[in-house]
Chains A and B, each alone.
Chain A
Amino acid sequence: MSLQVAITHRQGTFTLDAAFEAPPGITVLFGRSGSGKTTLINAVAGLQRPQAGRIVLDGQAVFDSAKGVFLPPHRRRLGYVFQEGRLFPHLSVRQNLTYGRWFAPRRARGAEAAEFDRIVEMLGIGPLLERRPAALSGGEKQRVAIGRALLARPGLILADEPLAALDEARKSEILPYFERLRGEVPILYVSHSAAEVARLATTIVVLDQGRVIRQGPAAEVLADPAVTPMGARAAGALLVATVLRHHADGLSELDLGGVPLFLPRVAQAPGSRLRLRIAAHDVILSRARPEGLSALNILPATVHEVRPGDGPGAIVSLDTAAGRMLARITRRSAQALELAPGVACHAILKSVAVAPEDIGTPQERAT
């Protein structure tokens, strides 16, 4: 599966002029509201016809303004998970789930039943099958919506801020399902939440005012200081660590590019690989190796770039043994520490977010 998009569309004073490619995995369209994310994903779905450009899905042009090609949505073999679920109110959960199957290419009865059972179990919606959508909670609705999209056996799943309407608890209920889907079917996922992006993305396409300002593998894009204005508070690094052992005092020891990292006990067994997000504002810098500090996790680093922000802050990008990382400090500190490209320092990690599931690395997925 591959997706190539290059379209322009003008709507009032807003111009969308975007081109990107989505390799396998989860490609997140990331940007503020109004940056054109939804227009872009609707163009891929065929719900909106752009004025010009080309959209190629798996080698087939589903839209090509030069040749006058425009495939209607029902012939694009997609599964779309909308922000508000959009379940059919007059059908039961079971009928909602099997809706797309009427139109998907036929398969053996047994295989269809097995697939249905597998997806129902994966999403934990077995007890809901005979209910009506009106009797479901927000999180349940969204799980059914994911199942409905999957069971249409799409070549690509589109998701437009599928978690935005949910509270934090429901969000963490749904996120793992998308993580599980990552290996199953390619996903184009719209979000303006840096936390979601960091957890899910294989590839990130950053949109700003209708233009793609950056695209690439998730770890690279998130550690790019140029992207930080998009969500400076949440900017940070995405690193992959391996669980080494669990200690008796409730800590787990992880290996982060050769540096030991101690975190409160993680659920994964030794040997499994984890995705870590280290927010820029959770990193403190020190020139000398700090002594007598309560922080457990200190990484040797080299300054790659110092980028002053609009306010009193600055974003420092660092090269560590584990990869590129960002630190958000004040400009005053940056001057006091004489930080400049090439300067050696130490990064002290105040906190680290762990994706609760073993999700592999983008590199592994790409092969």
Chain B
Amino acid sequence: MDWLGPEEWQAVALSLKVAIWATLVSLPLGILAAHVLSRRDFPGKALLNGIIHLPLILPPVVTGYLLLLGFGPRGPVGALLEPLGIVFAFRWTGAALAAGIMAFPLMVRAIRLSFDAVDPRLEQAAATLGASRVWVFMTVTLPLILPGVLAGAVLAFAKAMGEFGATITFVSNIPGQTQTLPSAIYTFLQVPGGEASAMRLVLVSIVIAMGALLASEVLARRVQQRVSGA
């Protein structure tokens, strides 16, 4: 990657780190949320559904500002976590949080669809054969929703790579700290002679996005074959 300058390389590496962490940490939560939305009925379900989907509809700047209010140094959650050494404001962790939250609805939607497609009667059959709820989930439900989980994860990863508005509002645009790929492209476009750098980063974005998409297609097809036994 000689053709990338150190500053550009830094942005790419940071974005990958942010997107990977955002995806991995939100994945279990995404599966849980999708499970609850697909299988449970309780008062307030519509509200929960709304809250999860809010980042999809709100202007990203609004989400970023709300994050700053909540998780900033003087925000209630931020102040609570700071003594524990967990700081989000103006750190890469904050960028990961913003990216994760913005990507969450996309991930949950994809996984929820695969939960809806699992026949609950298979889970009943597993229970009658002696499997407890946890075992039913691990041995029947999870393998069957795996294609959806993969799709959700890739979608979330791509969204996290590209997240801009909420990230820049929440953690700003500090090179080496919070300057992700989109922020870097934005910055290069603001300075004279930055077009070449911006163009290189645009190419990198396209390659990463396409790569993730193709990899997930291949994986999903393999998993699907295993699952359906065709």
Give the interface of A toward B (CB within 8 A).
45-47, 72-80, 82, 84, 86, 88-90, 92, 99-100, 102-104, 131-135, 148-149, 152, 158
Let me know if B226 and A74 touch, CB within 8 A: no
Q: Which among B125, B143, B226 is the interface contact of A86 at CB below 8 angstroms?
A: B125
A94 → chain B closest CB, angstroms:
13
Q: Which among B128, B135, B229 is the interface contact of A78 at CB below 8 angstroms?
A: B128
Q: Kindly list the 9 A-B residue pairs having the minimum CB-CB distance in the complex, ordered from nearest.
A: A132-B229, A103-B130, A100-B129, A80-B128, A86-B125, A134-B229, A73-B127, A90-B227, A90-B143
Q: Cα distance A227–B211 when bound, in Å?
A: 69
B129 and chain A: residue at smallest CB distance: A100
Let me know if B129 and A148 touch, CB within 8 A: yes
Let me know if A134 and B230 touch, CB within 8 A: yes
Contacts of A79 in B (CB 8 A): 128-129
Q: Cα distance A72–B119 when bound, in Å?
A: 19
Let me know if B125 and A102 touch, CB within 8 A: no
Q: Cα distance A131–B129 when bound, in Å?
A: 21
Answer whether residue B126 sits at the interface, using C-beta atoms and an 8 A cutoff. Answer: yes
Let me know if A74 and B127 touch, CB within 8 A: yes
* Interface residues contributed by chain B, number (CB under 8 Å): 24
Q: Is the interface of B mostly helix, strand, loop or mixed?
A: helix
Give the interface of B toward A (CB within 8 A).
119, 121-122, 124-133, 135-136, 139-140, 143-144, 226-230
A101 → chain B closest CB, angstroms:
9
Contacts of A76 in B (CB 8 A): 128
Contacts of B135 in A (CB 8 A): 74, 102-103
Q: Cα distance A103–B140 when bound, in Å?
A: 14
A60 → chain B closest CB, angstroms:
16
Contacts of A102 in B (CB 8 A): 130-131, 135
Let me know if A104 and B121 touch, CB within 8 A: no
Contacts of B130 in A (CB 8 A): 74-75, 77, 100, 102-104, 152
Contacts of A132 in B (CB 8 A): 228-230
Contacts of A92 in B (CB 8 A): 229
Contacts of A86 in B (CB 8 A): 119, 121-122, 124-125
Q: Cα distance A89–B139 when bound, in Å?
A: 12
Q: Cα distance A131–B128 when bound, in Å?
A: 23
| With A103-B135, A132-B229: A88-B128 Cβ-Cβ less than 8 Å | no
Let me know if A72 and B128 touch, CB within 8 A: no
Known: A73-B127, A74-B129, A88-B122. 4 other contacts (CB 8 A): A74-B131, A89-B229, A135-B229, A152-B129
A137 → chain B closest CB, angstroms:
14
B225 and chain A: residue at smallest CB distance: A132
B229 and chain A: residue at smallest CB distance: A132
- Most interface-central of B119, B124, B128, B229 (chain A CB within 10 A): B128
Q: Cα distance A250–B127 when bound, in Å?
A: 51
